[in-house]
Amino acid sequence: MSMVEFTSEQQMLRDMVRRFVDKEMPRSLAKAWDREDHFPREVHDQLAALGLTGLTVPEAFGGAGREVVSTIIVIEELCARSMAVGCAYIQSACYAGLNLTEVGSPEQKADILPKVASEGLMFAYGFSEPDVGADIASVRTTARREGDEVVISGAKRFCSGARIADYIYAIVRSGEPEARHKNLSLVLIPTDAPGLTFTAQETLGLKGGGAFDVAIDAVRVPAANIVGGEAGWNQGWSMLAGPGLDIEKIEVAAMALGIARAAVDDAWAYAQERVQFGKPICTIQSIRHMLADARTKLEACRLMTYGAARMVEAHKPAGAETSMAKLFVCDTARDIVLACQQIMGAYGYVGDFDMERYVRDILVMPILGGSSAIQRNNIANRLGLPRQPPPARPMRVA
Ligand SMILES: Cc1cc2nc3c(=O)[nH]c(=O)nc-3n(C[C@H](O)[C@H](O)[C@H](O)COP(=O)(O)OP(=O)(O)OC[C@H]3O[C@@H](n4cnc5c(N)ncnc54)[C@H](O)[C@@H]3O)c2cc1C
């Protein structure tokens, strides 16, 4: 039981994805994909064939509409088993499907969205750079116009899933750096474009699609690849900071929720099987309390994630609420997973059990997609907390 209620269609979808995960993504395979840093494309293809990558694509382009809550359900279910599959799903349904639906040009929608829905076409995010983390508006990768082409030079870092994606959805400096937010554009760089060099980065978790340093050496793309078309030139910041960013925050919350749920389920079962001092450890009060706390916090995470998803689905302004969900769920999910690891003792630390993978995967959630500190800044700013003391009032003379 959960305090989060789904419609009957959403429940059917969740049950269908759970059956799919049990059948096509057994634990043994999920473990192997993680160990071998392998992306199982055949599983991704099946998700597309089931229509799941099209949950974010308007019906006119072969999808199911803009089903944000359903998309979040799929992310939670996939990430509860395998980040190799879950991250790739996000690259397709969210990075490609939702973004282009919101800000793509008519031509980009007609060309790419049907491929998202039917083939699971993927984008990789190219925002971070060697010297650019939270301060995305300071990107140094440049783009200049040359006839009908855009020439891009620079470097992207932590470009997750770049080698399995079809395009890098890259933010670039398209004018003078002094203008900051006003001179940024989003461009679609095909991942097979001449001039791109990929170098794998070693990460603790999120195995499968990998993370890459991408060197971009005078790469030429048609001007038609400017996201939003000609009108999108120098408008990248408003496209990035709009609804796409709100959805990105709940995507990450849903990933964390899925991992934490898997950890709680495993620790709950383990505590009933593991016998010490002649009785299962689930009879020890401190273990019972840890598990009760974990279930309670998990339910709070679920309420925050789906509450924020409903707001975004209803097109309500949700900048503060999505930041609250990202902050609370990612920090709390990390605490839940670490508590579950403690419950499993030494067996939470070894490769025989999935717990050590949950720990590796959860640690990055408060960092990705805007760190917890950045979400706190957003919340305070969006709720109008003054940054400066009010000007001093002139003193009254009696
Ligand atoms: C596994 C993995 C996958 C990733 N995938 C992608 C991807 O696909 N595409 C992509 O573009 N990026 C990706 N990233 C990068 C990720 O989004 C960045 O790590 C994140 O934006 C933060 O940047 P940074 O780590 O460089 O931290 P920095 O921005 O250097 O910040 C360092 C510390 O300072 C704090 N800080 C910074 N500014 C402020 C501020 N104004 N107020 C308060 N605190 C502040 C931060 O919270 C952090 O604790 C990935 C990272 C990892 C580890």
Mean pLDDT of 346-361: 97
Q: What percentage of the chain carries pLDDT values higher than 90? A: 92
pLDDT (tens digit per residue) in 209-248: 999 999 999 999 999 999 999 999 999 999 988 777 899 9
For 109, half-sphere exposure in the C-beta direction (CA atoms, 13 angstrom radius) is: 18
Q: What is the Å distance from ligand 1's center to 24 Cα?
A: 33
Ligand 1 atom showing the smallest separation from residue 125 Cα: 9
Q: What is the Å distance from ligand 1's center to 133 Cα?
A: 5
Regarding the domain delimited by 8-121, which CATH topology (the fold level of the hierarchy) does it fall under? Butyryl-Coa Dehydrogenase, subunit A; domain 1 (1.10.540)
Backbone angles phi, psi at 22, to 5 degrees: -60, -40
Tell me the DSSP string of 115-137.
Answer: HHHHH---EEEE--BTTBSS-GG
Backbone angles phi, psi at 255, to 5 degrees: -60, -45
| CATH of the domain spanning 242-382 | 1.20.140.10
Whether residue 66 is predicted with pLDDT greater than 80 in this model: the reply is yes
Query: b/e for 348-368, b at 16 or more Cβ within 10 A?
Result: beeeebbbbbbbbbbebbbeb
Give the pLDDT band (50/70/90) at residue 398: low
Ligand 1 pocket member 128 (CB < 6 A) = yes
When the pLDDT of each residue in the chain is averaged and rounded to a whole number, the result is 96
Distance, CA of 123 to CA of 387 (rounded, Å): 37
Q: What is the Å distance from ligand 1's center to 383 Cα?
A: 23
Whether residue 180 is predicted with pLDDT greater than 80 in this model: the reply is no
3 state DSSP class of 142: strand
3 state DSSP class of 45: helix
Q: What is the Å distance from ligand 1's center to 158 Cα?
A: 9
pLDDT at residue 256, rounded to an integer: 98
**pTM tops 0.85, yes or no:** yes
Ligand 1 atom showing the smallest separation from residue 162 Cα: 8
| CATH of the domain spanning 125-235 | 2.40.110.10
3 state DSSP class of 113: helix
Cα dihedral 50, 55, 57, 61, rounded to 10, equals 40
Ligand 1 pocket member 79 (CB < 6 A) = no
Distance, CA of 231 to CA of 233 (rounded, Å): 6
Ligand 1 pocket member 127 (CB < 6 A) = yes
Q: What is the DSSP letter of 9?
A: H
| Residue ranges per structural domain of the chain | 8-121, 125-235, 242-382
The residue with greater pLDDT, 364 or 387, is 364
Mutate to test the pocket of ligand 1, among 367, 377, 379 (most ligand atoms within 8 A of CB): 367
pLDDT at residue 58, rounded to an integer: 97
Mutate to test the pocket of ligand 1, among 368, 372, 385, 387 (most ligand atoms within 8 A of CB): 368
Are 130 and 155 in contact by the 8 Å Cβ rule? The answer is: yes
Give the pLDDT band (50/70/90) at residue 392: confident
Distance, CA of 154 to CA of 171 (rounded, Å): 11
